[in-house]
Amino acid sequence: MTDSTLALNPVTPLQAGAIVTAANPIPVSLSGVATSGVTSIAGNRTGTTGAVVGTLAGAAAKTTYISGFSVSAIGGTDAVGPITVANLAGGSQVYYLNSSAGGSTLVVNFDFPIPANAVNTDITVTTTADGTATAVSVNSWGFRA
C-alpha cells in the first residue's frame, strides 16, 4: 500500500468492469472536507478461507476516515461474514454477504466519510471468509487529515 496526496481535481468515476486494486482504487470524493494536508489511503487484501482484513492505517497527529469499502467472494456458497468495520466514531458496523459459486460483491459508499474513534487509529474492514471460497477480497478507501 502506498499513500499519495490527493489532487484538487474532480473525481473520475470508476468504469464498469474495472478491477479495483491498490494501484487502481475506487475514487474518493472529499465533498465538504478540507483538502489541505489530506492523504488518500487504501486498505486492500485478498485471501481464501481465513479472515481477510483491509486496513486504513492511522498516522501520528492525523485522523483516519473511511469513505467506503467492498467485499467480494467467488467459488463458494457459504455466507461471507460477519463483515466488521471497526474503530469508527460511534462504534463498529457489521454487514453480511451471501456468496455464490459465480461470485458476489458488497459495495458500501458512505455519503459522508466516517472518522476513526481516535487520532492515529487504524480503521479495519474484516471478514471471515467463506470456508469453500476460491477467493475473497476486501477493499477499503478513505483518507487521513
Please report the beta strands in 31-144, taking only residues with DSSP state E, as ranges in sequence order.
Answer: 39-47, 51-56, 64-74, 79-86, 93-98, 104-115, 123-128, 135-144
Residue 37 backbone class (left: φ over 0; alpha: ψ -120 to 50; beta: rest): left
32, pLDDT greater than 90: no
Mean pLDDT, residues 128-145 taken together: 86
Q: Which three cell numbers stand for residue 3?
A: 499513500
State the Cα angle at 88 between 44 and 80, rounded to 5°.
50
Q: Tell me how far apart the alpha carbons of residues 121 and 71 are, in angstroms, rounded to a whole number.
A: 22
Residues in the chain: 145
Q: Which of 83, 66, 58 is nearest to 136 (CA)?
A: 83
Q: Tell me how far apart the alpha carbons of residues 83 and 94 are, in angstroms, rounded to a whole number.
A: 6
pLDDT at 113: 96
Residue ranges of domains in the chain, CATH in brackets = 4-144 (2.60.120)
Positive or negative CA dihedral for 108, 110, 116, 120?
A: positive
The more confident residue out of 131 and 41 is: 41
pLDDT at 8: 39
126, pLDDT greater than 60: yes
9, pLDDT greater than 50: no
Burial class, 70, CB count within 10 angstroms (exposed 0-12 / middle 13-18 / buried 19+): buried
- For all residues of the chain together, what is the average pLDDT? 82
pLDDT at 33: 56
Check: CB of residue 53 under 8 Å from CB of residue 45: yes
Least confident of 1-5, 18-22, 132-136: 1-5
